[in-house]
């Protein structure tokens, strides 16, 4: 028996500046599951190196937070590699807390190139 659990909910925002073009991007997706009320996860957050520290990333995170709340998600989550301690401090200054350490596992499927 197969039952569809969730409807895909996702958004992508692009930050632009007048003469600079695209300076950042944020991709968020909602995750609903059986055991909890689910969460929204920032799947990708990137700001051009020459624009970091000028507020674009913070604005994108605030947009993600607003989106999560408007769509009924009680938590906002993101993942950051262990090799990025400067990013960890940035996220903590924005109110994120470290929730757990884990390993990521993946398996390449037929047709993956």
> Which has more pLDDT, 92 or 6?
92
With 0-12 CB in 10 A as exposed, 13-18 as middle and 19+ as buried, what is 47? buried
Q: How many domains does the chain have?
A: 1
Q: Indicate whether 77 belongs to any domain.
A: yes
**Any residues with CB less than 8 A from the CB of 35 and at least 6 apart, and which?**
none
Q: Indicate whether 86 belongs to any domain.
A: yes
Tell whether the model's pLDDT for residue 6 goes beyond 60.
no
Q: Indicate whether 98 belongs to any domain.
A: no
Q: Indicate whether 56 belongs to any domain.
A: yes
Q: Indicate whether 108 belongs to any domain.
A: no
Q: In sequence order, what are the beta bridge partners of 30?
A: 9, 40
Q: Indicate whether 18 belongs to any domain.
A: yes
pLDDT at 61: 97
pLDDT at 5: 57
Question: 23-65: per-residue pLDDT in tens?
Answer: 999 999 999 888 888 899 999 999 999 999 999 999 999 999 9
Lowest mean pLDDT among 12-21, 30-39, 79-88: 30-39
Two tokens at 110? 């037929």
Structural domain range at position 59: 9-93
Integer-rounded Cα Rg, in Å, for the chain is 16
Question: 99-112: per-residue pLDDT in tens?
Answer: 988 888 999 999 87
Q: What is the CATH number of the domain that holds 56?
A: 3.40.630.30
Q: Indicate whether 1 belongs to any domain.
A: no
Q: Indicate whether 4 belongs to any domain.
A: no
d(CA 41, CA 30): 6
């Amino acid at each position: 028996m197969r039952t569809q659990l969730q409807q895909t909910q996702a958004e992508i925002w692009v930050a632009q500046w007048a003469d600079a073009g695209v300076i950042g991007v944020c991709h968020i997706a909602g995750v609903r599951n059986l055991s909890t009320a689910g969460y929204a996860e920032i799947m990708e957050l990137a700001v051009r190196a020459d624009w970091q520290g000028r507020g674009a990333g913070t604005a994108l995170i605030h947009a993600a937070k607003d989106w999560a709340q408007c769509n009924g998600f009680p938590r906002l989550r993101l993942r950051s590699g262990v090799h990025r301690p400067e990013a960890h401090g940035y996220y903590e200054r924005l109110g994120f807390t470290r929730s757990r350490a884990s390993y990521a596992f993946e398996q390449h499927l037929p047709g993956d190139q």
